[in-house]
Structure 1
C-alpha cells in the first residue's frame, strides 16, 4: 500500500472540465453535420457519378458520425465520473486527516 497519495485536485478538475467541453463541442459538430445531411441528403448528386461516390464514401462517413456521437457520450461520462471521483477523494482525504489528527498520529 502506498505511503501517501497526492492528487492536484485543481488540475484534475480543470482537466475533467476541458474533457466535458470537448464532449459538448464534438456533439455540437456531429449534430450539425447530421442536420445538414438531413436537409441535403445527397450533396454529391443523384446521377451515376454521385451514386458511385455515395457508395464509396457514405458508409465510412456514417461510421465517423456514429463514432463521434459515441465518443461524445463517453467523454461526457468521463467528465461526470472524473469530477465525482475528485470530490470523493477530497472527502476521504479530509476524513483521513481528521482521523490521524484525533488519534495523535500527526
Structure 2
C-alpha cells in the first residue's frame, strides 16, 4: 500500500497516511481539526511486507537461483603467473652520428 503525504492549509501540519489507492483522502486535520487537508506531491513511498517479498510472492517455481557473477562462474580469484618477474629491457645503443 502506498504512503501518502498530506498538509493542512490552516495550520501547516504535515502528516503521512498509509492507505489503499481506493481509500478517500482525509478531510480533517488531525492536529487542528480544520477541514483544509490537501494531498502533497512527494516521492513515491511504499512498504514491502513479508518474508522475502520476491522469493515468496512473485518468483516462479521453475526459476533458478541466479549467481551475480553469472552461470558457471567460480569464486576463486584469477591465477597469476608463477614467476612474475619484469621482462628485461632491450639494450639501447646511441644513434650513429654523421
Q: Highest Rg: 1 or 2?
A: 2
TM tier relative to shorter chain: under 0.3
TM normalised by structure 2 equals 0.26
Structure having the larger proportion of residues in helix: 1
Higher relative contact order (CA 8 A, sep 6+): 1
Structure having the larger proportion of residues in strand: 2
